[in-house]
Amino acid sequence: MTITEDKIYKALEQVMDPEIPVLNVLDLGMITAVRIGENDTVLIKMIPTFSACPAVELIRNNIRATVEKELGASVTVEIDKEAHWNSNRMAESAKEKLKNFGIAPPQIHNGEAYSEILMHTACPHCNSENTYLRSPFGSTLCRAIHYCRECGHVFEHFKPLE
Amino acid sequence: MTRNDAISQLLTAMADDSLIQGHRNSEWTGLGPIMEEDIAFSSMAQDKIGHAWALYRTLHENLGGTDPDRFAFLRGEKEYKCCHFVEMPNGEYDFSLMRHFLFDHAEAIRWEQLQQSSFEPLVPLARKLKGEIKYHTLHANAWITQLCRAGEESYARMQSALNTCFPLALGIFEPNPEAEQLLTAEKVYAGEAALRAQWMDRIYNILAVAGLNLPDENEVTPVYGGRKGYHTEYLQPLLDEMGYVFRLDPEAVW
């Protein structure tokens, strides 16, 4: 089987985030480069969402194992030190998946103060913007907790990050 | 002293501050006054320890330092360069919150500055961490402001915590003249005095909104010593506890 970039990306679609199982590593924008070297060796570069993300090594191993299994190639996964993750890297389609999973997606931001964009995060259950931030920290590093005054749900939010 | 020695001193102090503050934050896990606060301090602990880890990795990979885990857990007390402020026990919630406020604004300013550093490995890290720490300062600002408006006792406790914390917080900016001279000449960073002046401006503006009086910086004695390896009686017991599992078997693979 010839290894192509398309096939590598296809395989990467199967690698899900362990903390948000509806999103794969491409949805999240965690992959920064894919290269095919001599003898069909594959190099994949990735970046963690938050620098203290405890799942990085797990995700890295999952990427290697999945791509090796799908393509039968020897795969190296490196942490890309040049790039850094920000929430604008998340695909539009991923935001829809996130919302259907019950987590409000991150707003697009242009470096403005977080306090402004966190004020009226739309509720993933009823779409109301009559909400408030209860805490900028939640069950994982990438989530905040909000309350919806309209439907009374406490909901989680994938935090925007520069 | 070479440029790299000076950078190593700066990064070790920053990393040790972050590690020890992270450990103190983690001591609130399970004990926070409300669930959201328990989660907030636990999350900030995770961030801080992650930031320390990133700096220990930079020391290891770019500056010839030892393995990050061994460096974090196996040094003698005098080899740690954290300031006394982060060593202090958590005390009551007023102290912990005020320390969190003062410490995180200092870190935020430091990382904002380091985005322009001539030491390249720090630049992408600075961009990343600056964004993460914004959530820490957002959290701190919200609580400081709210608790200052929550009645007489609450306000008095916040003012008293500020008075207690302020001389300790100035210790974050303990001068290191020889290294700083090199680092400012080489444009690695702006130096402690410049960071301290920016920090004073920033906290003053938020404290003014909360109605708190910032003590006069010329009237207090900054608590120095940490950057030279002299520590309070609280650090050694913290190190004993923090490194207990690691020291049982330093070669273990997790």
Asked if B36 lies within 8 A of A145 by C-beta distance, the reply is: yes
Indicate whether A66 and A117 sit together in one domain.
no
Q: What distance in Å separates residue A69's CA from the closest CA in chain B?
A: 25
Reported confidence tier of residue A162, pLDDT bands at 50, 70, 90 = confident
Gap between the Cα atoms of B42 and B36, Å rounded: 10
Indicate whether A70 and A14 sit together in one domain.
yes
Q: Please check whether residue A91 lies inside any domain of the structure.
A: no
Q: Out of B49, B53, B128, name the one closest to residue A84 (CB).
A: B128
DSSP character string of B73-85: HSS-GGG----HH
Which helix (H) or strand (E) segment holds residue A144: the answer is strand A143-148
Quote the domain boundaries for residue A37: 5-79
The pLDDT of residue A7 is above 70: yes
Asked if A162 lies within 8 A of B44 by C-beta distance, the reply is: no
Using a CB-CB cut-off of 8 Å, the residues of chain A touching B131 are 86, 161-162
Q: List Cβ neighbours of B91 (8 Å cut-off, separation of 6 or more).
A: none
Count of A–B CB contacts within 8 Å?
71
Specify the number of domains making up chain A. Answer: 2
Of the two residues B65 and A40, the one the predictor is more confident about is: B65
Indicate whether A27 and A72 sit together in one domain.
yes
> What chain B residue is nearest to A160 in terms of C-alpha separation?
B131
Q: Please check whether residue A95 lies inside any domain of the structure.
A: no
Using a CB-CB cut-off of 8 Å, the residues of chain A touching B132 are 50-52, 161
Indicate whether A56 and A118 sit together in one domain.
no
Q: Please check whether residue A20 lies inside any domain of the structure.
A: yes
Gap between the Cα atoms of B34 and B45, Å rounded: 17
The pLDDT of residue A1 is above 80: no
CA dihedral sign of residues B204, B209, B211, B212: negative
- Closest by Cα among B124, B119, B152 to B6: B119
Gap between the Cα atoms of A121 and A133, Å rounded: 8
Q: What distance in Å separates residue A4's CA from the closest CA in chain B?
A: 30
Indicate whether A75 and A107 sit together in one domain.
no
Q: What distance in Å separates residue B249's CA from the closest CA in chain A?
A: 21
> What chain B residue is nearest to A159 in terms of C-alpha separation?
B135
The pLDDT of residue A111 is above 80: no
Q: Supply the pLDDT for residue A113.
A: 65
Q: What distance in Å separates residue B131's CA from the closest CA in chain A?
A: 5
Task: Tell me how long chain B is.
Answer: 254
**Residues A119-131, mean pLDDT to the nearest whole number:** 94
Hey, which residues does A131 pair with through a beta bridge?
A: A148
Q: What distance in Å separates residue A46's CA from the closest CA in chain B?
A: 14
CATH number of the CATH domain containing A42? 3.30.300.130
Indicate whether A14 and A54 sit together in one domain.
yes
What is the share, in percent, of chain A residues with pLDDT greater than 90?
74
Using a CB-CB cut-off of 8 Å, the residues of chain A touching B49 are 52
Q: Supply the pLDDT for residue A114.
A: 73
Which CATH number fits the domain B3-248, given the four candidates 1.10.150.120, 1.20.1260.10, 2.40.40.20, 3.90.1150.10? 1.20.1260.10
Q: Please check whether residue A25 lies inside any domain of the structure.
A: yes
The pLDDT of residue A28 is above 80: yes
Predicted ipTM > 0.85: yes
Gap between the Cα atoms of B199 and B175, Å rounded: 15
Q: Supply the pLDDT for residue A84.
A: 87
Indicate whether A11 and A73 sit together in one domain.
yes
Q: What distance in Å separates residue A115's CA from the closest CA in chain B?
A: 7
Using a CB-CB cut-off of 8 Å, the residues of chain A touching B68 are none
Asked if A137 lies within 8 A of B130 by C-beta distance, the reply is: no
Q: List Cβ neighbours of A75 (8 Å cut-off, separation of 6 or more).
A: A41, A42, A43, A44, A63, A64, A67, A68
Indicate whether A109 and A70 sit together in one domain.
no
pLDDT in single tens digits along all 254 residues of chain B: 999 999 999 999 999 999 999 999 999 999 999 999 999 999 999 999 999 999 999 999 999 999 999 999 999 999 999 999 999 999 999 999 999 999 999 999 999 999 999 999 999 999 999 999 999 999 999 999 999 999 999 999 999 999 999 999 999 999 999 999 999 999 999 999 999 999 999 999 999 999 999 999 999 999 999 999 999 999 999 999 999 999 999 999 87
Helices (H) and strands (E) in chain B, counts: 11, 0
Q: B21, B25, B120, B134: best mutation site toward chain A, by most A Cβ within 10 Å?
A: B134
Count Cβ atoms within 10 A of the Cβ of residue A38 and give its class: 0-12 exposed, 13-18 middle, 19 or more buried.
exposed
**Residues A45-64, mean pLDDT to the nearest whole number:** 91
Asked if A51 lies within 8 A of B138 by C-beta distance, the reply is: no
pLDDT tens digits, one per residue of A86-106: 999 999 999 999 999 999 999
Asked if A138 lies within 8 A of B43 by C-beta distance, the reply is: yes
> Scanning the structure block, which residue is given the tokens 């207690």?
B164
| Cβ atoms A73, A105 nearer than 8 A | no
Structure tokens belonging to residue B185: 């000449």
